A and B are shown apart, each in its own frame.
Chain A
């Protein structure tokens, strides 16, 4: 069985730089103030590499991938 992942944000670290929404517009959009809104549910498998890229490129390390079956 393949593992499923979700994206989580450390809301205190997040600065609203918006890079994640540029890298992964399929799953992340920004609110009026530039802070990310993440689509709910597990990340579709074909988007996993892009999600990993968004996590790696977040300038304040606020974005993370989590196993979906894990609490938080």
Chain B
């Protein structure tokens, strides 16, 4: 089995590639591993159709998802594989620039990429420059990345124009997550990795990144991380834009086939923690990470965070529950980017999985509320 991790990052000759690699990517079923899960081949074709030898490749290593670690681990341990993916993209899409957009706090990842780039040949090195992604949740969204690279402001902009139409420097641009590019490099070599990269977080004995074969169940992946530290109440699949699931539903599910993995974060909530307070804490975070450009997101997420915090701190209220349900529906689809959609997907799953807890929540002591504040 080909793996992304735990494999020597040898610098191999770049495979000869042409447009047919896009068909191979399509056949592999590869989708973006940054969170949105968009089919990679469609993205590449859109840029290939428009590039006149001037396209830009943005290697997205912003990894702003709070619990995710797999992208920086990949940049630290497989920098050459990732660069291969970027150079393959540059060749196939006829790009003249590659920008490595790496989270400003991911210092060892940046160092590793710098070192690897220093070992490449001059024509390759000349294509590449580095940019530090601000440590904000939305900075990794592709329109925000482009806005930042053009104007130094990491907030999303209105689409259209889409990146493949007018991106960095106003030319067709591919923004692609680092894991996705590493997988493209393996596809180009004829050795695709039939695996999933997962970051285990929360109540698990050994939190961190695991790579598991396709078809592995969530329960099996957790066992690789030493298992849950205590009896789990729920599991958050796909990070803060993901969904809460009941353990009995999630444990037997095949990670890559049955679940929407998003960015690949699997967070275990133990039965000893209050799910309502946990949800309210994450909603406050997501509200504070709104880029405050679109009214429904700025006001809507703040109101949703306030209502869930009121239930957490002062106890359940039928009025607040009704507001949560209504606003969670109304906010969806009403932002320039998917930030509000991700937040209400998360909240809606909480209202379903924790319906009883939300309906019967009692005011907590201040000590307990502080746990997730």
**A11 and B303 contact, Cβ closer than 8 Å, known pairs A31-B330, A72-B159:** no
- Per the 8 Å Cβ criterion, residues 1-52 of A in contact with B are 9-16, 31-35, 37
Say yes or no for B190: interface residue by CB 8 A criterion.
Answer: no
Alpha-carbon separation in the docked complex, A67 to B159 (Å): 16
Q: How many residues of A contact B (CB 8 A)?
A: 15
Instruction: Assess A12 versus B158: contact at CB under 8 Å? Given A34-B295, A35-B295.
Output: yes
Report the separation of the CA atoms of residues A11 and B334 in the bound assembly, to the nearest whole angstrom: 7
Chain A binding surface SS class: loop
Task: List CB contacts (< 8 Å) of A47-72 with chain B.
Answer: 72
Whether A14 lies near B294 (C-beta < 8 A) is yes
B154 smallest CB distance to A (angstroms): 14
Chain B interface size band reads 10 to 19
- Residue of A at shortest CB range from B160? A72
Identify which of residues 250-302 in chain B touch chain A, using a CB-to-CB cut-off of 8 Å. Answer: 293-297, 299-300
B76 interfacial contact with A, CB 8 Å: no
6 contacts between A and B (CB under 8 A): A10-B336, A12-B293, A13-B158, A34-B295, A35-B334, A72-B160
Is the CB–CB distance between A14 and B159 below 8 Å?
no
A37 & B295 in contact (Cβ 8 Å cutoff):
no
Distance (whole angstroms) from the CB of A61 to the closest CB of chain B: 12
- In contact, B159 and A35 (Cβ under 8 angstroms): no
Contact B336 A11 (CB under 8 A): yes
B-binding residues in A (CB < 8 A): 9-16, 31-35, 37, 72
B302 → chain A, closest Cβ, in Å?
Answer: 9
Residues on the A chain within 8 Å of B295, using CB:
11, 14-16, 33-35
Q: Collect the chain B residues with CB atoms within 8 Å of residue A35's CB.
A: 295-296, 299, 334
A12 close to B294 (CB less than 8 A): yes
B296 touches A11 (CB 8 A): yes
Complex: A35 Cα to B340 Cα, angstroms: 14
**Given A12-B157, A31-B300, A33-B299, 20 more contacts at CB 8 Å?**
A9-B334, A10-B158, A10-B336, A11-B158, A11-B295, A11-B335, A12-B158, A13-B158, A14-B294, A14-B295, A15-B295, A16-B295, A31-B296, A31-B299, A32-B303, A33-B295, A33-B296, A33-B303, A35-B334, A37-B334
Q: Nearest 8 CB-CB pairs, A to B?
A: A11-B294, A33-B299, A35-B295, A12-B293, A11-B336, A12-B336, A16-B295, A10-B158
Across the interface, name the chain B residue whose C-beta is closest to A33: B299
Complex Cα distance, B157 from A10, in Å, reads 10
The distance in angstroms between the C-alpha atoms of A71 and B299, with both chains bound, is 28
How distant is the Cα of A35 from the Cα of B327 in the complex, in angstroms? 13
Hey, which chain B residues are within 8 Å of A32, CB to CB? 299, 303
**Residue-by-residue, is B71-93 near A (CB-CB < 8 Å gives 1, otherwise 0)?**
00000000000000000000000
* Cα(A13)–Cα(B294), bound, Å: 8
Given contacts A11-B296, A31-B296, contact A37 B330 (CB under 8 A): yes
Residues of chain B contacted by A12 (CB below 8 angstroms): 157-158, 293-294, 336
